Amino acid sequence: MALILNGKEVADTLKQKITQEVSEMVANGHRAPHLVAILVGNDGGSQTYVAAKEKACHEVGFSGSVIRYESTLTEEELLEKIAEINQNPEIDGLIVQLPLPKHINETKITQAILPEKDVDGFHDVNMGQLAKGNDGIVSATPLGITMILAHYGIETSGKHAVIIGRSNIVGRPISILLSNPGKTGNATVTVCHSRTENLSFYTKQADIIVAAIGKPGFVTGDMVKEGAVVIDVGTTRVDDASKKAGWRLCGDVDFESVEKVASAITPVPGGVGPMTITALLNNTLKARKAQL
Ligand code: GUN
């Protein structure tokens, strides 16, 4: 029976710490951190995520606001808004929720946000700092994963971590974080992806597996070494008539078979998901503190 790594509990503990820091900041006469999220269009998932981010801001005492646009917004109009927010000293963090409508170039938008305000950590400057092991803003999901590992005292140094997925948002940055020197680092990392041959050969050797491919139930018990730590980043909506919403969230890991062999596992929901928002709050607080 694996230990369930309770992301909700870790997130709540960290949120309490952030709340405390914000109240001290305000008591010392400083403005609370302010995060702005831009949402373009009406994608259901994006609306839910952005609303959850705004709610979390208010829970810890941040100012949080959402700017909503119709999907007809032009790239130029969005760039103008970003430029305006970049100049606004009252705003510490800016995120543009992805995906964007097809006519807007996501790379162009991501690179238009000032690196100091890029609390998603998607800007090339922040990705570059990460790659060089320098201090910068690390994207929320990978940072949240390392926070879970740290909270449960899971040793990464000298361990073999196998990452499944090479996305810029999760796979690539978590592979760098785990191999960088420092706490929750110093691992030997293998990055697997859609072109990897004989994936099980690698996963069966892993002390730590991070599954971030967006394929529900992809990692099964027979692919996992006895005692491995398994981190499930998947959040695919699958139809489920028994749920009020008509769907449920499904991870990349087949929980039932994997928890029998793993020593620790993150559930979906309630594992990595809650940590992602807390890591975003952490980044916004960091951006605010850099201005003091
Ligand atoms: N879409 C899915 N995940 C994310 C995220 O972490 N940040 C932004 N901006 N968009 C997303």
Flag whether pLDDT at 1 surpasses 90. Answer: no
Q: What does each C-alpha distance from 74 to 41, 140, 171 come to in angstroms?
A: 12, 27, 30
Query: CA 188, CA 157: separation in Å to the nearest integer?
Result: 8
Ligand 1 atom nearest 37 alpha carbon: 9
pLDDT in tens, 10-61: 999 999 999 999 999 999 999 999 999 999 999 988 999 999 999 999 999 9
Give every strand in the sheet of 188-192, ordered side by side. 3-4, 264-265, 229-232, 208-211, 160-164, 188-192
Q: How far apart are the first and last CA of the chain?
A: 47
| 98 close to ligand 1 (CB < 6 Angstrom) | yes
| 95 close to ligand 1 (CB < 6 Angstrom) | yes
What mean pLDDT is reported for the chain?
Answer: 97
Which percentage of the chain shows pLDDT scores above 70?
100
Burial of residue 134 (CB within 10 Å: 0-12, 13-18, 19+) is exposed
pTM, entire model = 0.95
Neighbours of 257 (CB within 10 A): 16
- Which residues does residue 239 pair with via DSSP β-bridges, in sequence order? 247
pLDDT in tens, 175-214: 999 999 999 999 999 999 999 999 999 999 999 999 999 9
Question: What is the per-residue pLDDT for 42?
Answer: 92
Residue with tokens 């090339």: 124
Whole-angstrom Cα Rg for the chain:
19
State the distance from the centre of ligand 1 to the C-alpha of 99, rounded, in angstroms. Answer: 8
Q: Where are the domains of the chain?
A: 30-114, 140-273
**Between 272-289 and 7-27, two packed helices, what is the crossing angle to 10 degrees?**
20
- Which residues does residue 189 pair with via DSSP β-bridges, in sequence order? 161
| 140 close to ligand 1 (CB < 6 Angstrom) | yes
Which residues are catalytically annotated? 53, 97, 120
State the distance from the centre of ligand 1 to the C-alpha of 120, rounded, in angstroms. Answer: 7
| 279 close to ligand 1 (CB < 6 Angstrom) | no
- Mapped onto helix, strand or coil, the DSSP state of residue 159 is coil
Kindly report the three-state secondary structure assignment for every residue of 163-224. EECCCCCCHHHHHHHHHCCCCCCCCEEEEECCCCCCHHHHHCCCCEEEECCCCCCCECHHHC
Work out the pLDDT band at 251, boundaries 50, 70, 90. Answer: very high
Query: What dotted CATH number matches 30-114?
Result: 3.40.50.10860
Query: CA 23, CA 21: separation in Å to the nearest integer?
Result: 6
User: The domain 140-273 is classified under which CATH number: 3.40.50.620, 1.10.540.10, 3.40.50.720, 3.10.450.50?
Assistant: 3.40.50.720
Residue identifier of the C-alpha nearest atom 2 of ligand 1: 98
State the distance from the centre of ligand 1 to the C-alpha of 138, rounded, in angstroms. Answer: 13
For 31, residues 6+ apart whose C-beta sits below 8 A from its C-beta are 90, 288
| 114 close to ligand 1 (CB < 6 Angstrom) | no
Question: What is the per-residue pLDDT for 44?
Answer: 86
Residue identifier of the C-alpha nearest atom 8 of ligand 1: 97
